[in-house]
Amino acid sequence: MAVLSVIIYVAFISLGLPDSLLGSSWPSMYGGFGVHVSYAGFISMIIAGGTIVSSLFSDTLIRKIGTGSVTLVSVAMTAFALLGISFSNSFMMVCLFAVPLGLGAGSVDAALNNFVAVHYKASHMNWIHGFWGIGASLGPILLAYLLGKTGMWESGYRGVSIIQFALVAVLIASLPLWKRVPGSVSAEGNAEERKSAGIPGLLRLPKAKSTMISFFCYCGLETTTGLWGSTYLVVVRNVPADRAAGWISLFYIGITLGRFLSGFLSMKLTQKNMIRLGQLCIALGILCIVIPLPEAALTAGFFLIGLGCAPIYPSLLHETPNTFGTEQSQGVMGIQMACAYIGTTFMPPLFGVLGARTGYGLFPFYLGALLIVMILAVHLIYRKNRKAPNAEPQTAAGI
């Protein structure tokens, strides 16, 4: 189990690497394809669409071939897609390879998150997402290094694809380890014995809708903050653009540091209290940026929002087996991932439309509205007994 734990942590670093590549490389890409800079949105939507679809059907795949095999296939698809993009000579080719890139991301996300939620303590759920943040941070750094050495954005995608293919080799060697985990969907014969309620049945489960709304609102809040925070600072608070960009980095630093800190706090606090603590921290951060206070409050506000975001997503994920039972947790996890990606995809553009019409001063109030809805949805999850009537006891690895 210890070896498998290391593989999962490394996998999350590797999975974070591609997520920030498009935004970092697009300024160097679009001119060669002869398209407008705004066309990055089309690629992003294709990737998001593939991720949503594969998340919804991840439960079926995992029950048929197991967590380890789904992880292997998904990472291989991601590696192939990145390599394909690196050899693309047209915008349409990039769009074509964006399909397997999105499909690979959704299934592996749902598979690994449910595996960790069922078999590991809450601290590990926070830490693996901290390692994802490390990977997402290293992606642009690796791209900048290779771009500086070669002058070609293709080298960045090629370099990350090589790392992904190396992970594929590790996953092939680790397949027997997944099958040895007691109670795992990867265990031989276990997948056939377990029956899924199907997407309509899963949505009818008690607390399902509240959980989906929580994921939708959280991811909408996080991505809207990251995308539009700098615009709010420049347009509304008259902060110079270069300083605004630096201040927004505090939001991401807050998330990354907060994930590692949350891993330790989760050893003392329940997941419910971790979520509430995160929500309180976000509320304080929003107040810091909406009230006309000195500039130091603005920087503290974005850091607090990031710090508050840190424990919410991992804690909600880790509660899935407790809330719905381990038999249905994988199916619910896939739907949760889909709702998270829907929030990520549509809520930031919605704010862009509203902000253009009413003014970007709406920004903190938009975040506040998402936070209030999330608080209410989380309250409904915990209003009664956390465990579903037929919930199975959760197993957690003592590592």
List, as one string, the DSSP characters of 348-397.
HHHHHHHHHHH-GGGHHHHHHHHHHHHHHHHHHHHSS-SS-TTPPPPP-B
Its pTM stands at 0.80
How many residues in total does the chain contain? 399
Residue type at 279 in one-letter notation:
Q
- Give the integer Cα–Cα distance in Å for 126 and 339: 20
The number of CA neighbours under 13 Å toward the Cβ of 3 is 10
307: pLDDT confidence band, cut at 50, 70 and 90? very high
- For residues 247 and 298, the answer to whether their CB atoms sit within 8 Å is yes
> Could you count the other beta carbons within 10 Å of the beta carbon of residue 64?
12
Residue 396, domain member (yes or no): no
Residue 388, domain member (yes or no): no
**How many structural domains does the chain have?**
2
Helix, strand, coil distribution of the chain in percent, nearest 5: 85, 0, 15
What digits encode the pLDDT tens for the residues 336-349? 989 999 998 899 88
Task: Clarify whether residues 162 and 224 are in a common domain.
Answer: no
Report pLDDT for 187. 44
CATH number at residue 182: 1.20.1250.20
Task: Clarify whether residues 63 and 106 are in a common domain.
Answer: yes
Task: Clarify whether residues 283 and 371 are in a common domain.
Answer: yes
Phi–psi pair at 183, nearest 5 degrees: 75, 5
Place of tokens 């653009």: 241
**397 pairs with which residues across the strands?**
120
Range of the domain at 88: 2-194
Report pLDDT for 192. 40
What digits encode the pLDDT tens for the residues 31-43? 899 988 778 878 8
Task: Clarify whether residues 344 and 262 are in a common domain.
Answer: yes
Task: Clarify whether residues 126 and 182 are in a common domain.
Answer: yes
Task: Clarify whether residues 75 and 171 are in a common domain.
Answer: yes
Report pLDDT for 340. 92
- Give the integer Cα–Cα distance in Å for 358 and 274: 35
Task: Clarify whether residues 212 and 263 are in a common domain.
Answer: yes
**120 pairs with which residues across the strands?**
397
